[in-house]
Amino acid sequence: MMHNITVKVCMGTGGVAAGGGEVLDAFLNEISSEGIAASIEKRCSPGKVGCRGLCAKDVLVDVIIGNSKVTYQHVKTDMVPRIVKEHILESNPVLEWAVGEDYHNFHDRQQKVVLSDCGNIDPEDINAYAAVNGYIAARKVVTSMTPEDVISTIKMSGLRGRGGAGFPTGTKWEIAGKQDAKTKYLICNADEGDPGAFMDRSVIEGNPHAVIEGMIIGAYAIGADKGYVYIRAEYPLAVERLKKALDDARTENFLGKEIMGTSFNFDILIKLGAGAFVCGEETALIASIEGQRGMPRAKPPFPVYQGLWGKPTVINNVETLANVPYIMRNGPEWFASFGTEKSKGTKVFAITGKIKNSGLIEVPMGIPLREIIYDIGGGIEGGRQFKAVQTGGPSGGCIPADLLDTPVDFESLAKVGSIVGSGGMVVLDETDCMVNIAKFFLEFTRAESCGKCVPCRIGTKRLLEILERITKGEGKPGDIALLEEMSVDIKMASLCGLGQTAPNPVLSTIKYFRHEYEAHINEKRCPAGVCKDLLTYSVLEEFCKGCGACLRACPAGAIKGEKKKPHIIDPSVCIKCGACLDVCKFKAVKKE
C-alpha cells in the first residue's frame, strides 16, 4: 500500500536559529536526489511549520508515513540522509535520534487551544489553515450572526484579556459596540517585550491566520472597519509571515470590501514598533500609531470610548484574539470547561531560565506551578535546587519554593504578589541571587520608562541606585525599609502600568528572600555567590598541586606561586573574574 509521506520541520524562531532552514533544504535536496525513486519524491512533501513548543530540542522534525509519526530532535543536516534512507525509503525509523519520554511528558500534560495548530500547519499557506477549519468561524459570524450574538458568545466563554490585566474580553467588546460612532478601530497588540517572553511572536509565526480571523470576528462585533497589528520590528519572521497571511486573506476576500459576499468591510494594516516596552501600554501604543512619541496618557477616557484618533478603539493582544475563532467554532461552554471559575480557558506561557525543557506551553488556567516546572518543564537543570519562578515579566514577582503549589490564574498569583502578565515565566535556582534578580528587572524598567511621570522616571532610578549599592557591598541599615516605602509610593503614584508594577520584583524578593538582602547589607556577603564585589577567591593549600593552570588563566596577574607548590591569590589585584575556578581540576580554588 502506498502511503503519503509528510516531513514537518520546525521553522519558528528557535528552529530557524538552530538551523531549521538548512535542515529543510537538506530534506528537499535529498528527496529529489538521483538515488531516490520518483514515486517517493511525488509522495513525500517536506515543509515548514511554526514553533513546536519544546525549543530546547530544536531542530524538531516530524516524519509521518500514513498514520505513523516519529519526531526527531536536535536534527542537523548531516543526519538527514540517514533519516531519508532508513525511515522514508526503508520504513525503519532511526529511533536513537527520536524524542524520548520527556518530550511526550512536555506535550501530554498540556491543553492546547491557541497552539493546537501551531507546529502542525504551514504558517505561510492559507490552504493549510483552511484544512483545519480556518475561517469557518469568521464566515459563520459575518453571514449568519448579529454583533450582539458574537459578544454574547465571548462573554459566555469567560475569555479574559491575555495581555496582562485580564479584563473580560466580551465586556470590552460590548462597551465599544454600544458607542455611537461612524468610525471604530480594532488593534492587535503584538508588542511583546518582556525579557524571556516569546508567546505572541510564536503564535504569529506559527498560525497568523488565527489572529487575523479573530480580528475579523472582533471587528464585526464592535462595528470596526479598520484594524491594526502593532508589532515590534525586532520580529522580522513574524512580520514577514503576517504580511503574507494578510495578502492571502485579501485574495480570498476574507479582508477588504464586502467580505465573503456580505456588506461588511474590514481591512488590517501593520504598524511596526521600535521596541519600546512602554508601547505595550494601550494609550502609549495608540500614540505611537498616531505618529507621536509612545507615552501613556491618563485614563479615563479609556480607549473603548476615545482611542485611536479620538475614536472608540478595542485593543486585544495576540493570544486573546487567537482564542476567538476556536471559541466561535467549538462553543463558549467548551472553552469555559477549562480553567477555574474566574479564570476560564487556557494560557500560553514561555518557560525559560534554569529549567530542562525550556519552550512554549499552553495549560489550563489554575494548573499548579509545580506541575508546570517539574512535570512539563522536567525540573531544574543540573539537579540543582529550585529557588523561585518569576511570572509576569518585569511587572511580576518572584514566587518561592514553598508556594510552588499556587494555582496559575489571575487571582491566585495576585495573592502571592505576582501576576499572570502576558505569560513570561523565568525559573531560578540556587545559583541565582535574588537581590541581583530584582536589580536586573529594575535595570530593564528603568531603561524602558518613557519619563513622562516623576514617580516612574525618578523613583525607579532611585530604587535601582539602592539595589546597586547593596550588591556592591555598600548597603546601609534601613535600605530594606526604604526600598519598601519607595516601592509602595511608586506603585500608587505612577501614571501607567509600567510604573505601577515596576516595583513588584523588589517587593516580592524582599517579602520572600529578606534574608538575602540582610546578608548583603549586614554581612557584606552574597549567599548565592553572584554579586562580584562581595566575592573572594582563595587557594586551598591542601588541594593545590601547583600545576600553574590558574596562574596562566588569570588575566590580572593576581596569582603567584612556584611550580608544584601551593599558589596564592592576591585579593588586592584579583578582579574576581572566576577564571581560576573554571580551570582548576583539583577543586583547590574556593569562592565565597
Concatenated DSSP letters of 355-375:
BSS-EEEEEETT-BHHIIIII
Burial status of residue 307 (CB atoms within 10 A of its CB: 0-12, 13-18, 19 or more): buried
Between helix 479-493 and helix 504-522 the angle, nearest 10°, is 170
- What's the confidence (pLDDT) of residue 422? 80
Domain 536-591 has CATH 3.40.50.720: no
Question: Cα separation of 170 and 154, whole Å?
Answer: 5
Kindly report the three-state secondary structure assignment for every residue of 372-392: HHHHHCCCEHHHCCEEEEEEC
Asked if residue 105 lies in contact with residue 378, where contact means CB atoms within 8 angstroms, the answer is yes
Q: Long-range contacts of range 97-104, CB-CB < 8 Å, 24 or more positions apart?
A: 97/72, 97/73, 98/70, 98/71, 98/72, 98/73, 99/57, 99/60, 99/71, 99/72, 99/73, 102/356, 102/357, 102/378, 103/54, 103/57, 103/71, 103/73
- Compute the distance between CA of residue 314 and CA of residue 155 in angstroms, rounded to an integer: 15
Q: Which residues pair with 226 in a beta bridge?
A: 185, 267
End-to-end CA distance of the chain: 67
Q: So what CATH class is 346-429?
A: alpha beta
CATH 3.40.50.11540 fits 126-336, yes or no: yes
d(CA 160, CA 171): 9
* Cβ atoms of residues 323 and 523 within 8 Å: no
Greatest distance between any 2 Cα atoms in the chain: 89
Distance of CA 69 to the CA centre of its chain: 28
Taking only Cα atoms into account, the Rg of the chain, rounded to an integer number of angstroms, comes to 27
The pLDDT of residue 158 is: 97
Q: Which amino acid is at 267?
A: D
Confidence at residue 195, expressed as pLDDT on a 0 to 100 scale: 80
The sheet with strand 359-364 has its strands ordered as 359-364, 346-353, 424-429, 386-391, 397-400
Cα–Cα nearest to 323, from 197, 182, 218, 470: 218
pLDDT at 36: 58
Q: What is the mean pLDDT of the chain?
A: 93
**In the CATH scheme, what architecture does the domain 5-99 have?**
3-Layer(aba) Sandwich (3.40)
| Residue ranges of the chain with per-residue pLDDT less than 50 | 1, 37-39, 41-42
CA proximity to 162, closest of 323, 43, 394, 399: 323
Question: Could you tell me if 322 and 312 are in contact, meaning their C-beta atoms sit under 8 angstroms apart?
Answer: no
CATH architecture classification, 434-522: Up-down Bundle (1.20)
Distances from the Cα of 186 to the Cα of 86, 140, 214, angstroms: 51, 20, 11
Q: Where are the domains of the chain?
A: 5-99, 126-336, 346-429, 434-522, 536-591
Beta pairing class for 537-539 and 386-391: unpaired
Q: What is the pLDDT of residue 39?
A: 45
Residue 43 is predicted with a pLDDT of: 55
Report the candidate in 494, 504, 488, 506 with the shortest Cα–Cα distance to residue 456: 494
In this structure, what are the phi and psi dihedrals at residue 389, rounded to the nearest 5 degrees?
-130, 130
Which pLDDT score is estimated for 394?
A: 85
Supply the pTM of this predicted model: 0.92
Strands 185-190 and 386-391: unpaired
Strand ranges inside 512-587, DSSP E: 537-539, 559-560, 568-569
CA–CA gap between residue 119 and residue 62 (Å, rounded) = 10
pLDDT at residue 209, rounded to an integer:
98
Residue 244, burial from CB neighbour count under 10 angstroms (0-12, 13-18, 19+): middle
Sheet of strand 61-65: strand arrangement: 44-49, 5-10, 61-65, 68-72
C-alpha cell at 493: 503614584
- Rounded to an integer, what distance in angstroms lies between the CA atom of residue 456 and that of residue 491? 9
